[in-house]
Amino acid sequence: MKQRITTLEAIVIVVIAIVPSSLFYIPSFVIQIAKQDGWISVLLALVFSLLLALVIGHVCAEGNRQPLLKWLQNRFGKMISTGLGLVLCVYYFVASVVIVRQFSNFMSEQALLTTPMVMLAGIIVLVSVYIASQGIESLARVIFIVFLFFTFFVGFNMVLIWGQLDFNQFLPFIESPPSDHVEAMLMPLGCLSEIAVLLLIMPYLEKPESSIKVAIWGTAISGTIFMLVTMVTIAVFGTKIIGAISYPAFAAIGTVEIGQFIERVDVFLISAWTASMFAQVSIFTFGFFQLTEQTFKITPHFSHYAAGGIFILANALFAWPSNVVVAEFSYTTLTIYFLLNNYAVCMLIWIGLRLTKHKAMPSLEGL
Q: How large is the average pLDDT for residues 330-353?
A: 85
SS3 content of the chain, % helix, strand, coil (to 5): 80, 0, 20
Concatenated DSSP letters of 21-64? HHTTTHHHHHHHHHGGGHHHHHHHHHHHHHHHHHHHHHHHHTST
Check pLDDT > 80 for residue 222: yes
Using a 10 angstrom Cβ sphere, with 0-12 exposed, 13-18 middle and 19 or more buried, the burial of residue 260 is: exposed
Q: Is the model's pLDDT at 12 over the cut of 70?
A: yes
Give residue 247's pLDDT.
66
Single-letter code of the amino acid located at 320: W
CB 215 within 8 A of CB 198: yes
What pLDDT is attached to residue 243?
Answer: 63
Lowest mean pLDDT among 57-71, 82-96, 217-231, 234-248: 234-248
Is the per-residue pLDDT at 179 higher than 70? Answer: yes
For 272-331, what is each residue's pLDDT tens digit?
888 888 999 999 999 999 999 888 888 888 888 999 999 999 999 998 888 888 888 888
Across the range 14-20, mean pLDDT stands at 92
Question: Residue 108 CB: number of other CB atoms within 10 A?
Answer: 18
End-to-end CA distance of the chain: 9
Mean pLDDT in residue range 341-349: 86
pLDDT of residue 262: 54
Q: What is the model's pTM? A: 0.88
Q: Is a pLDDT exceeding 90 seen at residue 25?
A: no
Would you state the pLDDT for residue 260? 54
Mean per-residue pLDDT, 90-113: 88
225-236 residue pLDDT tens: 999 888 888 888
* pLDDT greater at residue 94 or residue 160: 94
Inter-residue contact 256 to 266 (CB < 8 Å):
yes
pLDDT over 80 (residue 362): no
Q: Nearest Cα to 105, choosing from 305, 241, 277?
A: 277
Mean pLDDT of 16-37: 87
Given a contact cutoff of 8 angstroms between Cβ atoms, the answer to whether 210 and 3 are in contact is: no
Give the pLDDT of residue 259. Answer: 54
Preceding peptide of 172 cis, ω within 30°: yes
Give the pLDDT score at 250: 65
- CA-CA distance, 312 to 122, in Å (whole number)? 10
Q: Give the span between the Cα atoms of 330 and 11, in whole angstroms.
A: 25
pLDDT of residue 359: 66
Residues 243-266 have a mean pLDDT of 60
At 252 the pLDDT is 63
DSSP class of residue 258 equals B
Q: Contact, 289 vs 132, CB < 8 A?
A: yes
**How far, in Å, CA of 275 to CA of 147, rounded?**
9
pLDDT at position 314: 93
